[in-house]
Structure 1
Amino acid sequence: MKRLLLALLLLLAPIGPSVAVTPDEVLDNPALEARAREISTGLRCVVCQGETIDESNASIARDLRLLVRERLVAGDTDEEVVQFIVDRYGEYVLMKPRTGGANLILWGAGPALFLIAAIGALVYLRRRSQAQSEGEKLSPEEQARLDELLGDRG
């Protein structure tokens, strides 16, 4: 029975959230800690690049988690904390980049390139079908010669 329970726990272990926050980082105030966790899930680890600072074990992620908590204890709002870190490390640290300013180019580039490719494909296909239909028409001399050749067979 113990082995079955252990196997079940091992199977379910990867399902739970992966959090790298150590007990010495956790704030005494549960409300501030909840805010810190919420902010941390929106910030990217600059070393790991695919993980939030809440998930990463990198030392820079730990420093950022501590910085978030320090700013919250100092009385900053969530937006002020995020802006402080963005000012320091750039917008790259945001897991969900903002859709304003120069980022509009990046947000619009994918759909714009898709539309250009789709229009190009339609123009190509239309020209190709017109060229094929025009290429199949015979001149009157060719048609007469063809009729003459086919008439000899029958």
Structure 2
Amino acid sequence: MGFKRHQQNTILKIIIGLIVAAIILFAFKLLFSSSEKQATEIAEKFYSYEQDGEFSSSWELFHPSMKQKFTKGHYIQDRAHVFMNHFGVDTFTYTLGNPEKLKSWRMSKEDTAIKEVYKLTVIQTFKGKYGNFDIEQDIFVGKEKDDWTIMWDYNK
């Protein structure tokens, strides 16, 4: 009788252990996919603003190091001038690739490394007076304090 009870306790402990392991695995997956989802959402927001010509709003989503590269006014003027005037388009469509989590990344050799960062490939499709063409660019979405921000690669 005692052997059977011991066997039942062992099986119960194994089942409880498996349940706890599954819960921990689920929590890690949820945490990881949550960051991945947030990174993708900020990239979507950025390019949605860009599509609508709301360059002031898209500039606000840049990492502080990006904002040092150009003032908001200069960015708004340049983006509108290049995309709308030179390309002869009103808007564009875009696709975002799957986010790839990087262990560490820096925008340039001078910048400090960012620990929580995702790399996404964006393809912008323009249809304008010079025909149809795509611009493909890797962008990086990193966490700055509590906010997800957009960065471009300036490494040489």
Q: TM-score, normalised by structure 2?
A: 0.30
Q: TM-score, normalised by structure 1?
A: 0.30
Q: Could you say which structure has the higher helix fraction?
A: 1
- The structure with the largest alpha-carbon Rg is 1
